[in-house]
């Protein structure tokens, strides 16, 4: 059970309720993580929604964004985000077997995505500057300078929700991941 208290979504008319209503209109429901974040910091959730809008308007495909978020969540040990972004990755066209390979740190057989996955996994597991070899590999895979910025933004946003969900032990409201 989630650790932080969350108000009733249907009766909240304050800043949190306004954000809940906006998300509900956009996606049909409000994920438990977003509910808990907004209950205690509507501004934090607004920042997340704004960052996601920036990513949506960029050149990094949704599939790539969800792969990044799944990899970072798997490395970081956030069960909630692994379930959520595995679900969103499926909706973006990633096959179930490829998602399992991504979560397990195995190659998918898609050269471009395997470079992205390796790049993001190395970022999540290490510190310091990216090696020249890894930078050359991500560029050779076709990622532009602008997309490297967007990879960084996707990475940053998922780290926030990973950490929050690990603190909160947020109840998972997405399909279970085997």
pLDDT digits (tens, 9 = 90+) for 59-105: 999 999 999 999 999 999 999 999 999 999 999 999 999 999 999 99
- The pLDDT, as a whole number, for residue 1 is 74
Residue ranges of domains in the chain, CATH in brackets? 62-168 (1.20.1290.10)
Q: What is the mean pLDDT of residues 48-64?
A: 96
Cα distances (Å, whole numbers) of residue 9 to 1, 108, 112, 149, 174? 17, 40, 41, 35, 18
How far apart CA 149 and CA 12 sit, in angstroms, is 36
**Confidence band of 25 (pLDDT split at 50, 70, 90):** confident
């Amino acid at each position: 059970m989630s650790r932080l208290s969350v108000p009733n979504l249907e009766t909240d008319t304050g800043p949190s309720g306004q954000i809940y209503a906006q998300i509900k209109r956009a996606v049909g429901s409000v994920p438990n993580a977003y509910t808990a974040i907004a209950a205690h910091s509507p501004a934090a959730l607004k920042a997340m929604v704004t960052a996601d809008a920036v990513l949506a308007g960029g050149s990094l495909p949704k599939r790539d964004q969800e792969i990044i978020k799944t990899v970072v969540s798997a490395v970081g040990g956030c069960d909630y985000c692994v379930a959520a972004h595995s679900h969103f990755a499926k909706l973006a066209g990633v096959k179930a077997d490829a998602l399992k390979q991504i979560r397990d740190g195995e190659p998918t057989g898609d050269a471009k995505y395997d470079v992205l996955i390796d790049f993001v996994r190395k970022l999540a597991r290490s510190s310091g500057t990216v090696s020249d070899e890894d930078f050359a590999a991500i560029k050779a895979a076709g990622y532009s300078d602008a997309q490297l910025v967007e990879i960084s933004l996707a990475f940053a946003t998922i780290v926030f929700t990973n950490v929050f969900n690990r603190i909160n032990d947020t109840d998972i409201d997405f399909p279970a991941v085997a």
